[in-house]
Amino acid sequence: MNQFRGRSRGKRRFFSLTILGVLVVLFLGLETIGRLPGRMTPLLRVDLATEDFLMRLHVSPPPQDVVIVAIDDASFAWTGYQWPWPRAYLAKIVDAITAGEPQAVGVDVLLSERSDDPAGDQALAEAVARAPYVVLPVLRFEQGGAETLAQPWPELRAQADALGIAPMVLDEDAVLRRLPAYTTFNGEIFYNWAFYLAARRMGVSPPQNPSPEGVNFAGQRVPLENGSLLVNFYGPAGTFPTYSAVSVAEGDVLREHPDAFRDKIVLLGATALTLQDLYPTPFSATKRTAGVEITANAVETLIHARYLRHAPLWVAWLLTVVAVTVAWGVLTVRAVWKQLLLVVGGVLGYLAAVYLVFVHGGLWLPVGGPALTLLFGVFFPSVERAVVEEMEKRRVRQLFSRFISPAMVERLLEVEDLSALNRRANLSILFSDIRDFTTLAESLAPEDVVSLLNPYLEAMTAVIHRYGGTVDKYEGDAILAFFGAPLPLPNHPKQAVEAALAMQEALRAFKERWRGKLPLPEDFDIGIGVSTGEVFVGLLGPEDRLNYTVIGDRVNLAARLQDATKRYHWPILIDDRTAALVEDAFELEFVESAYLKGKTQAVGIYKVLGKKT
């Protein structure tokens, strides 16, 4: 059994190491692939979903730098205009904003072509000229295999203070988390218009020296990922102060809120459902956020340097390796509930650390790789161990059900280290035998012998089990049992003698019940010998024929005491060691010190007369 358990542990250790190795290779590979542009892996989905969740936890009121003038459904309903709106009406809105003394105005409407109303076009160009600082969008796209830059018509472009790109690009899971920071056209660099608006607010120069990893802005290197700025969102749609365009054009806003635009960055853009300039963000996949408000979040991200970046790939690899190490440590804990507590606590603790690093450092640590490595690294080996242990328990149950009572089998299954079963131990040995059974068997047909022995052995075994004994073996009519193993049995000598007396009682009941049904002779009786001392107890034999047995001099002594019951004409004899341990509980009678067969020293022999009253 020691060897069996040792091999079992070795196989489980090898399986656990294999699983952990596979997880490391798998998650490191997925982590690496997920860093490639345009690639989406299950691991990256977990990371993005977790980042979105943690961002939703960290909701704070946005600074009052940006105000939105919304081209909303109410404005469409009030004016009755269809899109695109008349340029003259857009001019009216820009003039109304200018009247509020803003610091800068961003117009999130692509005005690349003149309209059918030259006067309206002229009015809009003049309104832009009157505004303090205006940023207009441009759009770079491909047409007919050639790159094209859509930008305001010349007269309007001449009045703008800056031109910037304003694209909205979704991640592979259809959520908007980043904005392209710059693009190039004919050797000229166009930055996202959020940079120009933030620069105006901060009084700094526009960005410089862009690369896919970063851009110089406001005296520091703004981190980019593949040329995109990660937006640190302040909240869901409606987080920023928003006024309806029609209310602004009609003068209602400034009459009610004279300082609504004063020294603010004002963004004019569409929020109407019909214009479909709405996008899912980390805060909501159902209630989408208008593109103009996403830009507002980007502007505030830049103004307050709330930059986000993902940890380098080597950090993701390192954390995954650390998770594997932790998983291996958790697997050394045997209790399943402790493993569950450690895994859940580890994952929650790591999530808390990820959240704190995000809030205070703007750094996204990978979640999927380390967390799933810990979860799966413990789950799969634990499941395998549970299956193997259940198979072992079935094997133990089948093996020991032959020797001990079902209740003791269940208690035995609770023992974690069955290898401890092979040991030297102080036990009490009981040996019983039917008197003159050989002569009796000769007078009976074989089927009658079986009909007699089976119910007899069943009755005696039940008594032995009732007193906590273990049946070692049946040798024809003889029964070898021991007390005190495989589970500790306090006062096992007393239990063995109690069992011997109970076997005599059970024999009388057996004879009464089966007389006339079985071929029982009138002098059908048994002798029982009990000895106590140190023996070897354990599992012996090949694995497919294991036996739980005892070996030692005290076993032989119990057999000799049983033989002596015939000479002394007494059904239960015990040795002097047993007598010394049970004399307070039973009436004993010393017979003599005798040299039993195979013994070199005399053994004190005692009759058991009964229990003390």
Over the stretch 269-314, which tens digit does the pLDDT of each residue have?
999 999 989 999 999 867 899 999 999 999 999 999 999 999 888 8
Q: Would the pLDDT of 411 be above 60? A: no
**CA 504/CA 498 separation, integer angstroms:** 10
Q: Would the pLDDT of 1 be above 80? A: no
All domains in the chain, ordered by first residue? 2-53+311-388 (no CATH), 64-296 (no CATH), 419-611 (3.30.70.1230)
Per-residue confidence (pLDDT) for residue 400, from 0 to 100:
62
**CA 69/CA 93 separation, integer angstroms:** 9
Measure Cα distances from 493 to 167, 576, 580 in Å. 89, 12, 10
Q: Average pLDDT of the chain? A: 87
Over the stretch 232-252, which tens digit does the pLDDT of each residue have?
999 999 999 999 999 999 999
User: Binning pLDDT at 50, 70 and 90, where does residue 408 land?
Assistant: low
Per-residue confidence (pLDDT) for residue 248, from 0 to 100:
96
Residue 483, beta-bridge partner list? 428, 469
Mean pLDDT score, 64-87: 94
Over the stretch 151-174, which tens digit does the pLDDT of each residue have?
999 999 999 999 999 999 999 889
Handedness of CA 270, 139, 120, 267 (dihedral sign): positive
Q: Would the pLDDT of 117 be above 80? A: yes
Tell me the pairing of strands 188-191 and 603-611: unpaired
- Least confident span in 329-333, 494-498, 581-585: 329-333
Q: Would the pLDDT of 605 be above 80? A: yes
Pick the more confident residue, 396 or 553. 553
- Least confident span in 37-46, 185-194, 355-364, 452-461: 37-46
Pick the more confident residue, 347 or 142. 347
Over the stretch 432-445, which tens digit does the pLDDT of each residue have?
999 888 777 777 78
Pick the more confident residue, 65 or 416. 65
Share of the chain above pLDDT 90, in %: 58
Q: Would the pLDDT of 9 be above 60? A: no
Over the stretch 348-360, which tens digit does the pLDDT of each residue have?
999 999 999 999 9
Per-residue confidence (pLDDT) for residue 5, from 0 to 100:
45
Answer yes or no: are the C-beta atoms of 477 and 428 closer than 8 Å: no
Mean pLDDT score, 562-590: 95
**CA 541/CA 613 separation, integer angstroms:** 45
Residue with tokens 């024929």: 545
Over the stretch 179-216, which tens digit does the pLDDT of each residue have?
999 999 988 999 999 999 999 999 999 999 999 999 99
**Cα angle vertex 530, ends 441, 593, to 5°?**
105
Q: Would the pLDDT of 361 be above 80? A: yes
Tell me the pairing of strands 526-540 and 572-575: parallel
User: Binning pLDDT at 50, 70 and 90, where does residue 142 land?
Assistant: confident
Per-residue confidence (pLDDT) for residue 545, from 0 to 100:
66
The H or E element that residue 318 is part of is: helix 313-331
Collapsing DSSP states into helix, strand and coil, what is residue 33?
A: helix
Burial class (CB in 10 A: 0-12, 13-18, 19+), 528: buried
Answer yes or no: are the C-beta atoms of 151 and 112 closer than 8 Å: yes
Per-residue confidence (pLDDT) for residue 7, from 0 to 100:
45
Q: Residue 35 has which token pair?
A: 């860093």
Mean pLDDT score, 584-602: 88
Share of the chain above pLDDT 70, in %: 90
Answer yes or no: are the C-beta atoms of 540 and 547 closer than 8 Å: yes
Residue with tokens 């810990």: 374
Over the stretch 491-542, which tens digit does the pLDDT of each residue have?
999 999 999 999 999 999 998 887 777 767 777 899 999 999 999 988 777 7
**CA 605/CA 591 separation, integer angstroms:** 5
Q: Would the pLDDT of 122 be above 50? A: yes
